[in-house]
Structures are given as C-alpha cells and as structure tokens.
Structure 1
Amino acid sequence: MQELLQNFGISEQLFTYVIMPLLIFVARVGDVSINTLRIMFMMNGKKTIVPILGFLESMIWLLAIGQIFQNINNPMSYIAYAAGFGTGTYVGMYFEEKLALGRVLVRVITPKPLTELLEYMKERDFRFTNVGAEGRYGKVQLTFTVMKRDALPDFIAKLKSVDEKAFYTIESVKRVSEDDLNVMDDKPRFNLSFLSRARN
C-alpha cells in the first residue's frame, strides 16, 4: 500500500488523516441519505425500490465501518463518521422534500367558514369535506382534504392569506381508496432516472 501511495505522490500521513476520513465521510453521507429515501419509499408503498435501497445502504455502511476498524486509532475517522451521519441526514431530507412523493391529509379548524378557501379547493379539484363541529369556545368549521405533497405549500399559503390564525394539522397518507388518488401514481417533481425505472 505504501508503495502505491508513493507512486501517486501521496504520503501515508496524508492518506491516513485526510483521504481516508474523507472517504468515510462520503460513504456515511451516502448510506444515511439512502436510508432516509428508503424509509420514505417504504411509507409510500414502493415495494420494488425499497429492497434495492436497503442493499445499497447496508453495503456502504459495511464499507465505512470496516474502514473505521482498520483505522481504529485515528480520531479523524470517528469525526468523519459522525459528520457524515449529520450531513447525510440533511441531504436525505433535501431529496425527500424535492421528490415530494405521497399525499397528506390536512385538517383545518376555523371559527367560521372560509368560503374563499373552499372555492380555491374547488377550482383545483381538491376532494374535501367541510362540517360543523363543537370546539372549546363554541361552534367551529372543520375541513378535511387530501392532496399531493407538492401542492401543500401553495395550499398553506392560501390558507394563511385567508385566515392567518387558522389552526391546521398535516398527516402523511399511505393510500387512498379512489384509483385516481392512488399514491402509487405519484411522481417526483424532478427526474432521477434510476428512481423512475424502479417505480415502473
């Protein structure tokens, strides 16, 4: 190994304290990001791609942890491993947000009917139910709707513009009964070729 490093002009110290920790960091970012995506696809019922991501995640993790054991006396390896985990979590969340797969259930509770919001949902063909209910301080209006996740930011912005103090909750939905609302038909907002093939 030392002769190979010398052929590339890399000293053993540079490899041990810089290159190897960097490789561990990159590997950890990769496996944690894949783990986040795997959980997201699993929650959305993507049975084809989940095992593939699980295989890649475990393989990368084994490679990273193997290098940790080989460099057990190198503190930079531990720092790179931990830093890779934190960075990988952020990267995974970023991709999860960009993919915006699945649907969400939104509940909106207001003291009075929000006619403008209901018209907004009708214009965009949202399925919703609006009912009267009893709250702590009297009568309220309760609105249920299911929408694609990528439509959520615009919906919340509209809700805030109509009633800034409106109370709402959001929950993930794995599957809905109507065929045209099946989450299996959802597509990400940007294309990743290997993910597109896995969904088919």
Structure 2
Amino acid sequence: MLENGFVMIGIILLINVVYVSFFTIRMILTLKNQRYLAALISVFEVIIYVIGLGLVLDNLDKIQNLIAYALGYGLGVLVGMKIEEKLALGYITVNVITTNISAGLPNEIRSKGYGVTDWMASGREGQRLMMEILTSRKSESNLYETVRALDPKAFIISHEPKAFHGGFWVKSIRR
C-alpha cells in the first residue's frame, strides 16, 4: 500500500494534519492551565509526529512526500485553530463604551444573564457609559450581537483574563 505514491502522499498529509492539530490544541490547553490533559495529548502527538516524520525521512528521494508534509503542516494549523474555535475554552472580558447613557443598557444586558459592572467615564467628546462584562468564550458572539442590537455604535473591546477572585462569576465558575 505504501508503494503507491498517491497513497503515501495522502497518509503523510493526513498524519501531519492530525499531528499539528494535536500540537495546536496542546498549546492552547497548556496556556489555559489544563496541564494533565495537555500532557496526555502530547503523548499521542509525539507518536503521530515520529510516524509521519519517519515516512518522509525514509522517502526523501521523492519531493512530493516533503511537499505533502509541509502542506499537511499548514492544513493542520488551520484545522487546529478551527477545533480550538469550536471548543472555545475559557472566559473573556468585554469592555463596552457607549454614548447611550440613559438607555438602561447594563440592565438589558444583565437580563440576558451576563454579569455587568458599569460606571461613568470621560471621553474626548464627553461622558460615556463604560461596562465590563465577563462571559464564557462560547457566549462571546451572542454577547456581541446583544450589544450591537442595543447600540450599533458601541465601542467593544475584549481580552482574556488570566485569573478570577471574588464577585458574581466565581460562584458560577466553581459549579
């Protein structure tokens, strides 16, 4: 089966897509402090890597195998990113700044189940309502849609918090 050039290219391509996808997921789990799951995935990652690299090194005389390896690597990055996007691990903090001060936006957003801290801020052109909202990454796009529906001109920026202590969300996270 491995004597067929197209089969060899397909196997090398597939192995590298799987390897790099595992690599991407392991890196993300490491960054999310999921060390034991990351370690478990790394075991399979290395096995797949050695098999794929071995196939290429045993057949270095065929440039198509090296090209398949490189293409598989690139595709693996894309597949790994898509998998991570679907897993949407962790939480994000979303800051919303609006000029729509009297519209009751914080309570509207709270009614959708989000925790909102709000305060008045000063911008270049006057008073602004500033809101800080913590949500799971799985709910991120729904939050953006909610905010845009309430104020299409709102300024929205997000970042990923590293740790939590106290407050509305800590009780929910520990459950």
Structure 1 and Structure 2 fold alike (TM over 0.5) = yes
TM-score, length basis structure 1? 0.77
Residue-by-residue CA offset, 1:32-55 (whole Å, 9 max, x unaligned): 111121122222221220111122
Question: Which residue type is aligned with residue 126 of structure 2?
Answer: G
Residue 162 of structure 1 deviates from its aligned partner by 1.7
Question: Which residue type is aligned with residue 65 of structure 1?
Answer: L
TM-score, length basis structure 2? 0.87
The answer to whether 1:157 aligns with 2:145 is: yes
Give 1:43-192 correspondences, 5 Å limit: 43-113=31-101, 115-178=103-166, 179-182=170-173
Contact 2:109 2:147 in 1 (8 A): no
Residue 115 of structure 1 deviates from its aligned partner by 3.5
Residue 79 of structure 1 deviates from its aligned partner by 1.8
Q: How many Å separate the matches in 2 of 1:42 and 1:117?
A: 36
The number of residues matched between the two structures is: 172
Q: Structure 1: any 5+ residue segments left out of the alignment?
A: 186-200
The answer to whether 1:26 aligns with 2:24 is: no
Q: How many Å separate the matches in 2 of 1:55 and 1:31?
A: 11
Q: CA separation of 1:80/1:130 partners in 2, compared to 1, >3 Å: closer, same or farther? A: same
Q: How many Å separate the matches in 2 of 1:157 and 1:20?
A: 46
Residue 138 of structure 1 deviates from its aligned partner by 2.5
Secondary structure at 1:151's aligned position in 2?
helix
Q: CA separation of 1:102/1:138 partners in 2, compared to 1, >3 Å: closer, same or farther? A: same
Q: How many Å separate the matches in 2 of 1:94 and 1:173?
A: 22
- Please tell me the root mean square deviation across aligned C-alpha atoms, in Å: 2.1
Q: How many Å separate the matches in 1 of 2:68 and 2:53?
A: 11
Q: How many Å separate the matches in 1 of 2:102 and 2:56?
A: 58
Q: How many Å separate the matches in 2 of 1:143 and 1:116?
A: 12
Contact 2:109 2:146 in 1 (8 A): no
Q: CA separation of 1:83/1:116 partners in 2, compared to 1, >3 Å: closer, same or farther? A: farther
Residue 25 of structure 1 deviates from its aligned partner by 0.7
Identity of aligned residues (%): 26
Residue-by-residue CA offset, 1:138-189 (whole Å, 9 max, x unaligned): 222211111011111111111111222211111122332244243x76xxxx
Contact 1:45 1:174 in 2 (8 A): no
Q: Structure 2: any 5+ residue segments left out of the alignment?
A: none
Residue 126 of structure 1 deviates from its aligned partner by 2.0
